[in-house]
Chains A and B, each alone.
Chain A
Amino acid sequence: MGTFLVGMLGGYVIAAAAGVFIQDSGLFGASGESPVARTYMLGLLQRDPNSIVGIRPNQSIAQRASELQAADSSRTTGQIQPLSLTYIGGATVGVYSVHIYAVGIRNAQGVDQFFPLALTVYGGKVQRSE
């Protein structure tokens, strides 16, 4: 039973490592995009802070309430309209991975904006967004 479990653990780790390598190298058409990073970006663009609570560093209750307030206000006034979301690329080094996106939005004044966001993912959470 012990041998089986060790083998299973080894297989899981090998498959995970191979997955990261394939994603980063772009083999077999893999984009390298992390599900965590994509979920985070969609939460931002859809102004749904609740959907990304579990994948970013913990915030105080006041910070979360303030963010929900801003998202509600933004949704009701239709201040921002997402135009495009493009995953440009990323890389993994050890336990850290970086994922870079280009975002196109139309603001409340009708002006189109085009800007990048680089996310650093560590331990299944977005630790840094800039």
Chain B
Amino acid sequence: MATLSLFAVGLLGGVVLHVFTDKAPPENPYPALPKVEEPRAAHDVVAAIGAGDAQALSRQLDSTMLTDLDTALQPIVDVRTTKFVGAVESEGRLLSAYVITGKTQENIDFVVGFVLRVANDQVVGVN
């Protein structure tokens, strides 16, 4: 019983220690843009990536954007999951952000983030 209590007190102490050592992000002195909904065009592109549908992707993106997408996904070669994390808009220019998880050539789990630029309901760039 005493051992269990000691363990519980230690556990609580660990939680308290974490609270004091975990730093919050510093203040952002710049304005932040409001979030918007995921653009349809970007959603379709990422759905093709998630489904491994190269045929659909080849119709949605031009060769420059496909090259940029390839660079953005490095070192992932086998996409496992895609997640929309948010989108923002400034003067008609939309940035739609995604996180991709997957396996590298060496079969190591990895995560990358990339952003699709959208204008006039079309994907116009990949970062």
Distance from B42 Cβ to chain A, minimum over Cβ atoms (Å): 12
What total of chain A residues lie within 8 Å of the partner, measured CB to CB?
Answer: 51
Bound-complex Cα distance A39 to B33 (A): 19
Bound-complex Cα distance A87 to B87 (A): 10
- Consensus secondary structure, chain B interface: mixed
Residues of B within 8 Å of A71, CB to CB, are none
**Interface of B with A (CB < 8 Å)?**
3, 6-19, 22-26, 28-33, 35, 72, 83, 85-88, 90-91, 93, 95, 97, 99, 101, 109-115, 117, 127
Residues of B within 8 Å of A119, CB to CB, are 113
Could you say which of B31, B88, B90 contacts A88, with CB atoms under 8 Å apart? B88
Bound-complex Cα distance A66 to B8 (A): 53
Q: Are B24 and A114 in contact (CB under 8 A)?
A: no
Residues of A within 8 Å of B88, CB to CB, are 86, 88, 102
**Interface of A with B (CB < 8 Å)?**
3-16, 19, 33-35, 37-39, 42, 45, 82-94, 96-100, 102, 104, 112, 114-116, 118-120, 130
Bound-complex Cα distance A86 to B89 (A): 10
Bound-complex Cα distance A83 to B31 (A): 7
Distance from A103 Cβ to chain B, minimum over Cβ atoms (Å): 9
Could you say which of B12, B32, B72, B113 contacts A90, with CB atoms under 8 Å apart? B113
Q: For residue B25, which residue of chain A has the nearest CB?
A: A38
Residues of B within 8 Å of A15, CB to CB, are 14-15, 18-19, 22
Residues of A within 8 Å of B22, CB to CB, are 15-16, 19
Bound-complex Cα distance A87 to B124 (A): 21
22 of the cross-chain contacts (CB-CB < 8 Å) are A4-B9, A4-B13, A7-B9, A13-B14, A19-B18, A38-B25, A45-B30, A83-B31, A88-B86, A88-B87, A90-B99, A91-B83, A94-B109, A97-B111, A98-B112, A100-B86, A100-B97, A100-B113, A100-B115, A102-B88, A118-B72, A120-B111
